[in-house]
Amino acid sequence: MASEEALRKKYMELIRSSLSSGRIDKYAAKLSAQELDEMLSIEGLKSESVLHDFDAIYQSSAGACGSQNDANSWLAFAICLTSARPEGAFLPARRIFARAGFPDIDADFEFEKRQEVYDYIINTYGRENVGNIGTYQTLKMKSYITRAVKALDLSNSFHLGKEEYIKRNNLLVREIIDSLPEQKGAFLKVFDDEGEGHQVTSINDAFKYCDAFQQKVSKFPELVEYSSRLEGLSSSFGVHAAGIVISSEPLNDIAPLRSTSGGEDGGVDYATQFPYDDLEYIGLIKFDILALSTLSVLSECLRLIKERKETSIEISQLPLNDENTFKLYRTGKLVGVFQCEERGMQSTMIKMQVDRFEDICAGIALFRPGPMANIPKYCARKNGDEDIDYFHPSIARLVKPILEPTYGVLCYQESIMQICNSLANFTISEGYQVIKAVGKKKGDYLAKFQSRFVKGCVTNGVPEDVALKYWTGFIMPFAAYGFNKSHSYCYGLLSYQTAYLKANFPHEFMLAYLRVETRQKKWERVVQLEAEARSMGIDIAPRVINNSSVNWLLEVFENADGSERAILTPPLMCKGIRVAAAENIEKNKKYKNFEDLCAKIDTGIVDSECILALKEAGFFKNMKDPVGDYIKYRDHFKKARFKGMTGQDLFA
């Protein structure tokens, strides 16, 4: 790792460069320098140094688009680690510094380039110094009920043989599980006789709050006892989808490793046997290197706009007040817009009547289990249908500056950190610990924090009973599932960028999206995007072999009234077709008829399954049996070629 002095010099040069280029002003440069001092004091800059290293390789590649979660950091913005411009002044305890360990920064890359970044890290720091992060899956309620039923043989069928034992116990498990209420969303929630909601996460919760389940399980008292003992036990070992750790020395010297199935080349890869919390405790730094197809769409779309319209767009410099973009959000036509494609999210954006960038960020933060209950309140207050209040007059004077931008509604985890600071004299770091304690259900910590919160509120003139109600009814329900503002802001920015391109360059945007999803072979998604293109007034041409290419094609014609008519031509690449087969068909165009096609293509590459796939995709519509005809012509041409070869004089 670089020395502190070398790191300070490197980053001060980058800050000065951003200042001279106009990316930041003198005030932002001062804030960046303050963050640099803070980062060096906790030795967290080592993580930024490594991240900046491989991120720079990616950003310098052609047509690169990137997204990070560090929107609260002026330093990250100054050194071009993120395109998300921070808001507000420097806070010594801003979230990036509030945590006790190293800053946690995720980096999203284009789908096709994630492996390049991962390979670069391994080549730079050494295979022995880089590893995936191991994870441990634990037994959840339905899993441990299943195991307990079978282990206890509650169907009393073991003596009937293996087949009957499995059949009867599986049937009993199904009856027990089916007695639970239907789960809607990420969590099972039930309501008691008084209408109070309860989240069911264990068999004890289910036995307490679900009458039908209680009646069913009461016949097997041992099930509750033994199932409870299984709760939370590790069931299997996995690998974090995106997380890696980088060490300055061989990983197997400081953490146990295990081999896993490798990357794209099928080789051996390694993962730590320690989970992330333990790795952080021993001083290792975690990086999330995520692959995001939306970034591939942006990159492809920008390239097409430059190619077709001779217009270069700096995606990070888009104006955040484009009326066409806000109008798209208000109409709810958001297929292809990042984070906004679900029907519920589309409905939320319509109800919000989006007219500012902050609405998009708030919508993304609120559309999650828990905070989702605040969406109607946010919409009503924003649209003037409900008065804005701050729970109680004694609280309003302290929390209004924090919650006023979101109409008195809690949207972000950072708001809780600030409220705990302003209302109860917590440090921002302690506010961060509150969020983590709620998320991990650390009851003993929460009891201490509750007592301190109430006392702190009383010190600031808030009645004790009001403070307690505010803690239990306002802060705790949100803290459990709240989203952080850094992520919301970056997701909102990416959402806005996709919406901007769809609203202002609809033809190029849909072409780019279809090309990316076709390359990734997401065929159901392709069908959805075709329907969206038609709804936007873009025609989809009939599937004709001679007109199609390996990729989607776009033609735009100008009508007599000056409007444009766009036609998208579907590609030869479709479900069941390999790239080599599509390329071979395109290479030998044009074809006079089906017989000519069979004569020209390489039947070793384009086989009968490819012909069937093309037929199912919509090609060869006028043919009854193209596969049968293909086999007939193929065999005929094989015989003809063989006959021609046997008639040759090899010594001529």
In a domain, 375, yes or no: yes
Model confidence pLDDT, tens digit, residues 130-163: 889 998 888 888 899 999 999 999 999 999 999 9
Residues 227, 187, single domain; the answer is yes
Residues 316, 454, single domain; the answer is yes
Instruction: Indicate the residue among 214, 232, 250 that finishes a domain.
Output: 232
- How many domains are there within the chain? 5
Q: Alpha-carbon distance 494 to 496, whole Å? A: 5
Residues 383, 473, single domain; the answer is yes
What SS3 state is found at 131? strand
Q: Which domain holds residue 153?
A: 141-232
What SS3 state is found at 379? helix
- State the pLDDT confidence band at 164, using cuts at 50, 70 and 90: very high
- State the pLDDT confidence band at 344, using cuts at 50, 70 and 90: very high
Q: Could you write out the DSSP letters of every residue in 445-500?
A: HHHHHHHHHHHHHHHTT--HHHHHHHIIIIIHHHHTT-B-HHHHHHHHHHHHHHHH
Q: What is the strand order of the sheet 539-540 is part of?
A: 539-540, 564-569, 553-558
The separation between the first and the last C-alpha atoms of the chain, rounded to the nearest angstrom, is 72
Cα dihedral value 310, 316, 317, 320, nearest 10: 110
Model confidence pLDDT, tens digit, residues 520-556: 999 999 999 999 999 999 999 999 999 999 999 999 9
Supply the DSSP symbol for 3. -
Beta strands in 285-362 (DSSP E): 285-292
Supply the DSSP symbol for 274. S
| pLDDT of amino acid 165 | 93
- State the pLDDT confidence band at 643, using cuts at 50, 70 and 90: low
pLDDT higher at 196 or 493: 493
Residues 477, 520, single domain; the answer is no
pLDDT at residue 75 is higher than 90:
no
597-626 average pLDDT score: 93
The mean-pLDDT minimum among 69-83, 124-138, 520-534, 551-565 falls in 69-83
**Both structure tokens of 311:** 């217009």
Q: Alpha-carbon distance 74 to 85, whole Å? A: 7
Residues 471, 394, single domain; the answer is yes
The mean-pLDDT minimum among 18-32, 46-60, 138-152, 524-538 falls in 46-60
CA angle 396, 402, 407 (to 5 degrees): 75
Q: Alpha-carbon distance 340 to 48, whole Å? A: 31
- State the pLDDT confidence band at 93, using cuts at 50, 70 and 90: very low
- State the pLDDT confidence band at 98, using cuts at 50, 70 and 90: low
In a domain, 176, yes or no: yes
pLDDT at residue 510 is higher than 90:
yes
| pLDDT of amino acid 141 | 87
Residues 554, 589, single domain; the answer is no
Supply the pTM of this predicted model. Answer: 0.78
Which of 35-39, 122-126, 439-443, 462-466 reaches the highest mean pLDDT?
Answer: 462-466
In a domain, 494, yes or no: no
Q: Alpha-carbon distance 93 to 418, whole Å? A: 10
pLDDT at residue 90 is higher than 70:
no
pLDDT at residue 55 is higher than 90:
no
Instruction: Tell me the percentage of the chain whose pLDDT exceeds 90.
Output: 47
Instruction: Indicate the residue among 569, 593, 625 that finishes a domain.
Output: 569
In a domain, 498, yes or no: no
Instruction: Indicate the residue among 569, 603, 622 that finishes a domain.
Output: 569
560-574 average pLDDT score: 92
Residues 481, 530, single domain; the answer is no
488-509 average pLDDT score: 94
In a domain, 448, yes or no: yes
| pLDDT of amino acid 648 | 46
Q: What Cα–Cα distance (Å) separates residue 367 from each residue in 349, 427, 608?
A: 10, 28, 47
Residues 479, 602, single domain; the answer is no
pLDDT higher at 516 or 36: 516
Residues 222, 83, single domain; the answer is no
Residues 159, 218, single domain; the answer is yes
| pLDDT of amino acid 52 | 52
pLDDT higher at 78 or 188: 188
| pLDDT of amino acid 109 | 83
In a domain, 237, yes or no: no
pLDDT at residue 1 is higher than 50:
no
In a domain, 652, yes or no: no
Residues 44, 171, single domain; the answer is no
Q: Could you write out the DSSP letters of every residue in 583-624?
A: HHHHHT---SSHHHHHHHS-TTTS-HHHHHHHHHHT-STT-S
pLDDT at residue 42 is higher than 90:
no
| pLDDT of amino acid 76 | 65
465-484 average pLDDT score: 85
Residues 533, 601, single domain; the answer is no
Instruction: Tell me the percentage of the chain whose pLDDT exceeds 70.
Output: 82
In a domain, 250, yes or no: no
